[in-house]
Amino acid sequence: MATSSKVHLSPSQQPVFYVPGIGSETADMTSELLQENHEKHHIFFNYAGFHNHIAHHLLSLFALNATPTELRQGWDDNVSYQRPPVPLKQSIVTDIHNPKKYKTYLGSEKSYHNFLAFFKEEINQKGWQEVLNEYIFKGDERADDMLVRMFGGILHPIIHLGFGVEFEQPAIIAEALAQAAVHDNWEASHLIESEKAAKAHSPDRRSDTTIVQLLGEIYADTKRASGGRAKYASQVHVTEENLEEKTAEMINAAVYFTGAAQHPPHQVKFDFWNIHAVNLSIFFCSFLRQPWLSTPNKIRLLEWKIRIDLAMYASPRPPKLLLDEITNYKSKKDSSWGDIFKRVKTYHDDGHACKLVRALANGEQVCKKYEDKDGFVIKGDMWRKLGNMAIDSVEAGSPDYVRSGAWSSVPLRDQSRL
């Protein structure tokens, strides 16, 4: 049984997207390695705030039905550079139980192990669902501050939370809460202001503007050197009636602005920051499933995701989106989804590629029934082409991803294939 201190995966689990046929050896190996990571490693692998991705990598491999050998490879590729947690101080854990003292330890990586112990204690007493409702979704000052921190660090805390919820692992959820607690609250602080602006813009929460339309407005306004973040965020509204469809629309739009942001004649590459918007998207399908999470909180969470996606696309300068880069993509291997999964399971990295591929495959399934609706640009075989683009782009060699629009470091395409 999975607890706040013990990772336990079962072959019978049914995450949002998985390859059927997961066996006990795969479940046992994943559990064993995740347990070692939980006990021995900090959430940052260095002192500059770079994240430990082992949990993301292994759970993605598990969902794609990796063999024990493939799981061990993923572990071996990344374990050597991890750092141990700062030693636990029980006096600080006791302090954190005091709401006034709790605040004083926020934002410090030295406090990660102490927050981890604290949230494990809370989960033991109340259950992980109640702890999340209290510390993330309650809507009071403490919860809103933690929710903002969840969206910091290029979305890593909420991605970590998504894995914990999707795979029903209280230990991973405790890690996510502790991770959020040691992040700053400035990076995503605009989400609170965006929410206020949206309520002022449309008190009845009605809007027919699609996310793709907002992306277009952002690009056009940047060309005119006008507009601002709140202008677009205030137009994001989700209702109980369109919650499921808007979740699919968010996934579609995130994939669109990430996959279509190419820069010919340079090789196809994905923007490193924007792939996190796609990698996070899959977990909103999981959040929809949760009976303990209220509908208003599901709506709020999705609105925040859409608003931060818009901010990610806009910063530092929105790229022109070239849909024909997807529709006309010609892969040398032109792999099926099954072959894409095989290739990504053996790719040597820290898990970004297999997270991206799984999120794309999930997007195809979720968006299929909405393909004829406005706002759904990615459709049909474009999903599989994107899967090929993703694995082809990293297998092509360094750099795996484009960072901050630095296309000058990306090789040019093979001219014979243009």
Question: pLDDT-based confidence at 418, cuts 50/70/90?
Answer: very low
Locate 55 and state its tokens.
């949990």
Straight-line distance from the first to the last Cα atom of the chain, in angstroms, rounded to the nearest whole number: 54
Q: Which of 59, 105, 100, 58 is CA-nearest to residue 86? A: 105
Cα 217 to Cα 82: distance, rounded to the nearest angstrom:
42
Spell out the alpha helix ranges (H) of 16-127.
24-40, 54-63, 68-78, 90-96, 99-102, 112-126
When pLDDT is averaged across residues 279-290 and rounded to a whole number, the result is 98
Supply 134's token pair: 């209290």
Q: State the Cα–Cα distance between residues 277 and 308, nearest whole angstrom.
A: 8
pLDDT in tens, 127-173: 999 999 999 999 999 999 999 999 999 999 999 999 999 999 999 99
Which has the minimum average pLDDT: 104-118, 200-214, 289-303?
200-214
Helical residues (DSSP H) of 151-242, grouped into ranges: 156-166, 170-181, 190-201, 211-223, 229-233
Q: What is the mean pLDDT of residues 358-371?
A: 98
Q: How far apart are CA 64 and CA 60, in angstroms?
A: 6
Spatial CA neighbour of 53 closest among 253, 279, 241, 286: 279
Give ∠ CA 261-403-362 in degrees, rounded to 5. Answer: 55
Q: What is the distance between the alpha carbons of residues 269 and 325, in angstroms, rounded to a whole number?
A: 11
Would you place residue 225 in the very low, low, confident or very high pLDDT band (cuts 50, 70, 90)?
low
> In the beta sheet, which residues pair with residue 402?
271
Q: What is the pLDDT of residue 211?
A: 97
State residue 416's pLDDT score. Answer: 47
